[in-house]
């Protein structure tokens, strides 16, 4: 059974700092991994999707890496801004005929001006 863990559960940083959010999963037989952002009371916004054959994906100030063999992914946010404050969720799609996403509990990020 796939389990996803995100560390830390909460993070508070000053504006401008570079930061890393961590995600680990127990079953390395994944198809892909998605990072989402959730603002309070809102839905999930997909940030980056990494296929199992890829090592990283970049979008603007965001960079996500994937090490499938060790069951780890990181989301790097450069030059953080107050608008980056949100909950960041990691989700994996396991291989085989399993089409569902398995989520971690998320990291609550607060960027202080």
Report the interface residues with another protein, using CB under 8 A: 4, 31-32, 34, 36, 42-46, 49, 89, 91, 98-106
Our CB check for another protein shows the closer of 45 and 81 to be 45
DSSP-based three-state secondary structure for 113: coil
Our CB check for another protein shows the closer of 80 and 89 to be 89
Output phi, psi for 71, to 5 deg: 70, 40
Q: Write the DSSP assignment of 43-95 as a string of letters.
A: -EEEEEEEETT-SEEEETTEEEEEETTTTEEEEEE-S--GGG-EEEEEEEEES
C-beta atoms surrounding 62 within 10 Å: 17
Our CB check for another protein shows the closer of 80 and 94 to be 94
Q: How far is the CB of 27 from another protein (least distance, A)?
A: 15
């Amino acid at each position: 059974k796939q389990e996803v863990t995100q560390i830390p559960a909460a993070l508070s940083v000053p504006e401008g700092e570079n930061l890393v959010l961590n995600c680990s999963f127990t079953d390395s037989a994944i198809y892909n991994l998605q990072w989402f952002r959730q603002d309070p009371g809102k839905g999930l916004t997909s940030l980056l999707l990494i296929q199992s054959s890829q090592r990283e994906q970049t979008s603007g100030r965001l960079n996500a890496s994937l090490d499938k063999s060790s069951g780890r992914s990181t989301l790097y946010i450069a030059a953080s801004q107050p608008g980056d404050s949100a909950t960041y969720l990691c989700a994996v799609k396991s291989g085989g005929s399993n089409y569902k996403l398995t989520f971690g509990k998320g990291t609550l990020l607060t960027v202080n001006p």
